[in-house]
Structure 1
């Protein structure tokens, strides 16, 4: 199997909030956790053994785009990744409804762009952007769409401008929830179940061309 995106010797950094962190040991820099990041690393390593890929997980639970930016020098640039994958944004929305802390879509975009452009300009890294998502399991979460949808639009626009690989997670998880139920994929509407992490991992690998039959 070949892929035009992942290259031999790549160091792939997956970062974001708790969805990416998902069980990683912060005291072990090589820990990948047991969510989609770990599944991506396992399957990519199995399918592309000749690439000798290295994967790093630097997700931090509770992170917003601003918090990711604040730690980016240490948890991003200093690691010198050749591929940077980011999933961030749902906490920017969640905190508005849970605590009244509002981050505008414009502020979100500013922080996201700062992270991505520094990775591109200073490291010449290739970029992967995963859409934030919610599949409502409570009536209140239906209200989140008005806040989250503009962030998803930001991710799509920035991905196009920076020629990043886009993982269309919001639509994928929504479609899966229609087939079964939201709780089967994200038990609280946000945090994935094992099946949800598997869905994200498959989508990531497909987007970068590392699944059988992927373009």
Structure 2
């Protein structure tokens, strides 16, 4: 029996060492999800495909969607994007920016293409955080993008992984271990929180 193909696409949070990894997964939440599937389920482990690329915004996903998603024809597609769409507004304000309106328009087009061309089960992950402070400038700007992902998940009947909420809850409870190395990129704890939130959503 042919195993399913589960494809994860996003930015550096998803990439996280996949190009240096002989399995092409990286040391990240994608690997943790794969390993937990093997532990929790008796069914064959899907083929996991990591298509994360560092620095990507929604515009970059659009440029490679045909090759990296549609041509792959996955059974499950998990999308994690939005952090760089905001972060670039903070660290490179002079570049062409992805406004919330533009973010929603492009994201919607990618979902339309996917629905029209594949039978993939689609999972949308909220953007995580920008700095480990709820009221950081990045997290305030990120709210609009999180809400867009929530809206699109409802409209397209996708499963919504509430990673942003999970991260804020962790921070509000003042847990001792950091989630990120630099406010964006994950520690092992951050990856575990992403993976657990995904698993609790998709497996339930």
Runs of 4+ with deviation above 4 angstroms: none
Measure how far apart 1:50 and its partner are: 1.9
* Match of residue 212 from structure 1: none
Deviations 1:134-171 (A, max 9, x none): 153479x7112342111101000000011101000111
User: Structure 1 residue 168 and structure 2 residue 154: aligned?
Assistant: no
Measure how far apart 1:42 and its partner are: 1.3
- What is the rounded CA distance, in whole Å, between the counterparts of 1:91 and 1:163 in structure 2? 25
User: Structure 1 residue 81 and structure 2 residue 74: aligned?
Assistant: yes
Q: Mind listing any 5+ residue stretches in structure 2 that lack a counterpart?
A: none
Q: How many residues align?
A: 201
* Match of residue 184 from structure 1: 178
Q: Is contact 1:135-1:177 (8 Å) kept?
A: no
Aligned mate of 1:108, from 83, 87, 103:
103
* Match of residue 112 from structure 2: 117
Q: Is contact 2:3-2:47 (8 Å) kept?
A: yes
Mapping for residues 43-58 of structure 1, pairs under 5 Å: 43-58=36-51
Q: Is contact 1:92-1:103 (8 Å) kept?
A: yes
- What is the rounded CA distance, in whole Å, between the counterparts of 2:126 and 2:24 in structure 1? 24
More displaced, 69-78 or 56-65? 69-78
Q: CA RMSD in A?
A: 2.1
* Match of residue 3 from structure 1: none
Q: Is contact 1:89-1:132 (8 Å) kept?
A: yes
Aligned mate of 2:149, from 147, 150, 155:
155
Deviations 1:43-95 (A, max 9, x none): 11232242341111000000000001101111111111011000000001000
CA separation of 1:125 and 1:59: change in aligned 2, threshold 3 A? same
Q: Is contact 1:136-1:182 (8 Å) kept?
A: no
* Match of residue 195 from structure 1: 189
Q: Is contact 2:80-2:127 (8 Å) kept?
A: yes
Give me the TM-score of the superposition, normalised by structure 2.
Answer: 0.90
More displaced, 155-164 or 101-110? 101-110
Aligned mate of 1:35, from 25, 28, 32:
28
Aligned mate of 2:15, from 9, 12, 21:
21
* Match of residue 56 from structure 2: 63
Measure how far apart 1:118 and its partner are: 1.4
Q: Is contact 1:19-1:61 (8 Å) kept?
A: yes
Q: Mind listing any 5+ residue stretches in structure 1 that lack a counterpart?
A: 1-7, 210-214
Give me the TM-score of the superposition, normalised by structure 1.
Answer: 0.86
